[in-house]
């Protein structure tokens, strides 16, 4: 078939992992800007397929021709306009420098919107990069007397200011924060325990399911040269608390949570077919974005009707598949966002995927625990790995997903090494937010007190032991409210026996006393 010259195509991907080395002090380790530059140079080399000794004419041509450099916001060492520093290092002058909002959905959302801009003829070549060096920042803090890291500094008013991609919005309500919800490790266990109840599992059965899923992810990471933790862990090693694997928030140990203590960067080059041909990129390197969809679930956790489901994933997934003209059984390589086990299980259920199919694992990287969770940029690694998988399996279709905040923001993309067959400029995207917004919302009663029933919960741990219970409850009217548990014996009972469905009395201060 004759391809429209405006068809968007991925032509180069790059990943960088800067591993711990006791011989190198933190002050001499690379910073995020370094990793972004390295990842973009690796993406340029990837356009020719094999390392070329530092010179890849096609990739170099595309770097210099880039209209837009889009950077995924960093969580550690935030800068006013990191794209400016990256462009200076590369010696390029893109017309547009962009910086994303916070969210692990951003790399996929940026790709979808970049593909649309290319199809409309607004852009020819887009560079996307992101990196985190949280491991180095943490190591520097531990070195007594160490000087501050000499990283690139930008004043808050650095000009030019980047174009903003996405909008920032507070992720939690005042009530949610007052009752202890603040970090992902406090929130995702609520979803995990809600899944246990929805599936009718006992505590030990549930733990076995968590361990089996995460052990399969660690097996993938063990074979991934870019993964941070490359040891295949058994289910028991993952779920059994120990000195190196402490309990974090029931039912999660440390090895069930996203690992942000990594130094990793990833980048990709997206351009038009016309630009790819002009640069001389061989068609065997091309991977086509077929379709995408974005949506967020009801923004605040309190308003979500069911804490074990995601209407946004279901509706975005359906839209992406429909737009590409394929079904879920047509999808081969898959990388689901995987900050916690519950996220994978919820997404799999909404998309119609099995979590235990050895022929179609749900991660290509090893997931955010074992591959690593470099802030907002993990999905760039998922996309980069998917591109390689599709090149190795010509004609197949793959999927990558991204997620932001507390299973709030979702982005789904479908890709193939074969050209798209649907109409238009080869990429289709749909905003399904209106459909998500029309799904039921839960009534919230911030002033509820008296008799309540536990809907889901977690118990947070310090290094000394159980610390606090955080519970979603339903009042007698069916409204949701939030509670805390502080009594040591009640905390112990919540980790030893099922707490969902238990009744209690909620005081005006938000403290719950279980019956």
**CATH 2.40.50.840 residue ranges for the chain:** 450-514
Alpha helix (H) residue ranges in 284-366: 311-324, 341-351
pLDDT of residue 144: 67
Judge whether residue 53 has pLDDT over 60.
no
Judge whether residue 52 has pLDDT over 80.
no
The CATH number of the domain covering residues in 450-514: 2.40.50.840
What length does the chain have?
Answer: 515
DSSP category for residue 29: S
Residue 486 CA: distances (Å) to CA of 278, 395, 473, 475, 490: 66, 56, 16, 20, 8
300 touches 173 (CB < 8 A): yes
DSSP category for residue 103: -
pLDDT of residue 424: 54
**What does the mean pLDDT of the chain come to?**
95
pLDDT band at residue 378 under the 50/70/90 scheme = very high
408 touches 172 (CB < 8 A): no
Nearest to 422 by CA among 246, 292, 510: 292
Rounded Cα–Cα distance for residues 16 and 10 (Å): 18
pLDDT of residue 422: 65
Nearest to 110 by CA among 266, 284, 344, 319: 266
pLDDT of residue 78: 77
pLDDT of residue 425: 59
Mean pLDDT of 131-151: 86
Nearest to 380 by CA among 71, 46, 123: 71
Judge whether residue 268 has pLDDT over 70.
yes
Which contacts of 181-185 are long-range, i.e. CB under 8 A and separated by 24 or more positions?
181/301, 181/470, 181/482, 184/257, 184/258, 184/339, 184/340, 184/406, 185/248, 185/249, 185/252, 185/257, 185/460
Handedness of CA 185, 111, 153, 40 (dihedral sign): positive
Over pLDDT 90: what percentage of the chain?
Answer: 91
pLDDT band at residue 149 under the 50/70/90 scheme = confident
pLDDT band at residue 156 under the 50/70/90 scheme = confident
Judge whether residue 8 has pLDDT over 70.
yes
Mean pLDDT of 384-407: 97
**CATH 3.40.47.10 residue ranges for the chain:** 8-147+155-170+260-437
The CA-based angle 370-45-379, given to 5 degrees, is: 30
Half-sphere exposure of 287 (CA within 13 A, CB side): 31
pLDDT of residue 303: 97
Rounded Cα–Cα distance for residues 296 and 433 (Å): 7
Judge whether residue 54 has pLDDT over 70.
no
Judge whether residue 1 has pLDDT over 80.
no
Q: What is the pLDDT of residues 413-429, one digit of tens each?
A: 999 999 887 655 589 99
Instruction: Read off the pTM.
Output: 0.96
Nearest to 265 by CA among 411, 423, 130, 459: 130
DSSP category for residue 248: E
Query: Is 444 exposed, middle or buried (CB count within 10 Å of its CB: 0-12, 13-18, 19+)?
Result: middle
Judge whether residue 147 has pLDDT over 70.
no
Residue pointed to by tokens 């400016």: 84
Judge whether residue 307 has pLDDT over 80.
yes
Topology of domain 8-147+155-170+260-437 in CATH is Peroxisomal Thiolase; Chain A, domain 1 (3.40.47)
Alpha helix (H) residue ranges in 52-91: 57-65, 82-90
DSSP category for residue 511: B
Instruction: Give the bridge partners for 90, in sequence order.
Output: none
196 touches 307 (CB < 8 A): no
pLDDT of residue 511: 97
pLDDT of residue 55: 57
Judge whether residue 446 has pLDDT over 90.
yes
Radius of gyration, alpha carbons of the chain: 23
Residue 321 CA: distances (Å) to CA of 113, 229, 311: 17, 33, 15
> Checking phi first, is residue 405 left (phi over 0); if not, alpha (psi -120 to 50) or beta?
left
Mean pLDDT of 446-451: 96
Q: What is the pLDDT of residues 100-116, one digit of tens each?
A: 999 999 999 999 999 99
Instruction: Give the bridge partners for 12, in sequence order.
Output: 269
SS (H, E, C) 111-162: HHHHHHHHHCCCCCEEEEEEEEEHHHHHHHHHCCCCCCCCCCCCCCCCCCCC
Query: Strand 252-253 vs strand 247-249: parallel, antiparallel, or unpaired?
Result: antiparallel
pLDDT band at residue 146 under the 50/70/90 scheme = low
Judge whether residue 280 has pLDDT over 70.
yes
pLDDT of residue 409: 98
Over pLDDT 70: what percentage of the chain?
Answer: 97
331 φ/ψ angles, rounded to the nearest 5 degrees:
-80, 130
Q: What is the pLDDT of residues 160-219, one digit of tens each?
A: 899 999 999 999 999 999 999 999 999 999 999 999 999 999 999 999 999 999 999 999
- Retrieve residue 466's tokens: 């159980």
Nearest to 33 by CA among 159, 151, 149: 151
Rounded Cα–Cα distance for residues 403 and 105 (Å): 4
E strands present in 330-408: 331-335, 397-404
Rounded Cα–Cα distance for residues 315 and 313 (Å): 6
- Retrieve residue 367's tokens: 């997931």
Residue 492 CA: distances (Å) to CA of 206, 375, 484: 18, 33, 14
Coil, strand or helix: which one is 329? helix
């Amino acid at each position: 078939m004759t391809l429209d010259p405006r068809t968007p195509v991925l032509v180069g991907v790059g990943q960088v992992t800067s591993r711990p080395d006791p011989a190198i002090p933190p002050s001499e380790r690379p910073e995020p800007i370094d990793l972004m530059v390295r990842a973009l140079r690796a993406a340029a080399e990837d356009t020719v397929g094999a390392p070329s000794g530092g010179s890849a004419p096609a990739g170099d041509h595309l770097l210099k021709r880039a209209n837009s450099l889009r950077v995924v916001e960093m969580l550690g060492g935030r800068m006013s306009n990191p794209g400016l520093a990256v462009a200076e290092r590369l010696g390029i002058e893109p017309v547009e420098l962009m910086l994303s909002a916070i969210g692990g959905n951003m790399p996929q959302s940026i790709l979808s919107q970049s593909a649309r801009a290319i199809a409309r003829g607004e852009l020819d070549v887009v560079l996307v990069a992101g990196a985190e060096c949280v491991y180095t920042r943490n190591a520097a803090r531990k070195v007594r007397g160490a000087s501050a890291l000499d990283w690139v500094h930008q004043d808050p008013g650095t000009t030019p200011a980047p174009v903003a991609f996405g909008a920032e919005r507070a992720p939690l309500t005042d009530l949610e924060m007052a009752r202890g919800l603040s970090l992902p490790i406090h929130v995702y266990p609520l979803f995990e325990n809600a899944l246990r109840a929805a599936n009718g599992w006992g505590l030990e059965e549930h733990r076995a399911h968590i361990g089996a899923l995460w052990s399969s992810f660690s097996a993938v990471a063990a074979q991934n040269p870019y993964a941070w933790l490359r040891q295949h862990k058994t289910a028991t090693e993952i779920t059994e608390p120990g000195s190196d694997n402490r309990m974090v928030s029931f039912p999660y140990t440390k090895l069930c949570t996203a690992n942000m203590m990594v130094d990793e960067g990833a980048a990709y080059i997206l351009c038009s077919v016309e630009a790819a041909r002009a640069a001389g990129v061989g068609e065997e390197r091309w991977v086509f974005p077929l379709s995408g969809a974005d949506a967020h679930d009801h923004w605040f956790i309190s308003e979500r009707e069911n804490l074990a489901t995601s209407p946004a994933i279901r509706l975005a997934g359906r839209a992406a598949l429909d737009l590409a003209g394929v079904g879920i059984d047509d999808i081969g390589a898959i990388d689901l966002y995987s900050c916690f086990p519950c996220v994978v299980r919820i997404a799999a259920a909404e998309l119609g995927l099995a979590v235990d199919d050895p022929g179609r694992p749900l991660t290509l990287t090893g997931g955010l625990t074992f591959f690593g969770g470099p802030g907002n940029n993990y999905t760039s690694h998922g996309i980069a790995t998917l591109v390689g998988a599709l090149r190795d399996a010509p004609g197949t279709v793959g999927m990558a997903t991204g997620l932001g905040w507390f299973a709030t923001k979702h982005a789904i993309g479908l890709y193939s090494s074969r050209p798209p067959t649907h109409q238009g400029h080869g990429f289709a995207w749909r905003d399904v937010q209106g459909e998500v917004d029309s799904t039921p919302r839960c009534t919230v009663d911030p002033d509820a007190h008296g008799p309540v029933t536990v809907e889901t919960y977690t118990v947070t741990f310090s290094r000394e032991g159980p610390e606090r219970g955080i519970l979603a409850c339903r009042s007698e009217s069916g409204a949701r409210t939030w509670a805390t548990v502080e009594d040591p014996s009640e905390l112990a009972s919540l980790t030893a026996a099922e707490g969902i469905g238990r009744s209690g009395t909620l005081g005006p201060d938000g403290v719950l006393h279980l019956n």
